[in-house]
Amino acid sequence: MNAELRPLLVSLALGTLPLTAGAQTVRSDSARLVVTQAGRPIGTEDFALRIGTGSDGSPGASFVATTNGDSESLRVVVAAGARRITIRVASAAGEAAREYPGGSRSLAVDERVLSLFALVARVDPGPITVFGPPPGGRRSASLTEVGQDRFPGAPQPLRHLELRSGADVVDIWLDPQGRLIRVAIPSRELVAERVTQP
């Protein structure tokens, strides 16, 4: 994991969204994803995710990612809680922050940051509200359990979920512990695969 992520995750977890190990176990994950488009490598993403209980007892998550790609590099920080989701994105062009209504049926997405789909581990299948940067903004979506799939190099079958909003489809694969292993956006021929195994 990128060494820059650790202090950002700690400050996020301690400041914006304090997670405690009280009634609910805190789960953490960090990894590197390699992103390809039409089979050609176009970048990497390093991310760290922490899911647990906030200081007010409600479920929450903190997420930090750094992307390094052919077209742009980004640093993304997300705090997701019962009341709101806060997303901060920094790039060479500047920094932007957005807040959206939170809750257990809400998910923050940005197709420039495929590792954000690691946050799907905190949402049960069914109808959800997806928030992202314009032009997408706020939209209704469905998260569906597709089944179990096996991939070369994966020691266990992976849980396959499909996120669908209108004609947009994102396929997400998680291991049995809920860690992000693979993301695919078929319409854009984008695939992000974990190279740092748990």
**What residues does each domain of the chain span?**
5-194
Buried b (16+ CB within 10 A) or exposed e, 8-35: bbeebbeeebebeeeebeebebbbbbeb
Residue 14's pLDDT is: 33
Residues of the chain scoring pLDDT < 70: 1-25, 54-57, 134-136, 196-198
The predicted-structure confidence for 148-184, as pLDDT tens digits, reads as follows 998 877 788 999 999 998 888 999 999 998 999 999 9
> By the 8 A CB rule, do 87 and 110 touch?
yes
User: CA-CA distances (angstroms) from residue 139 to 133, 170, 176, 188?
Assistant: 11, 14, 29, 19
Whether pTM > 0.85 for this model: the answer is no
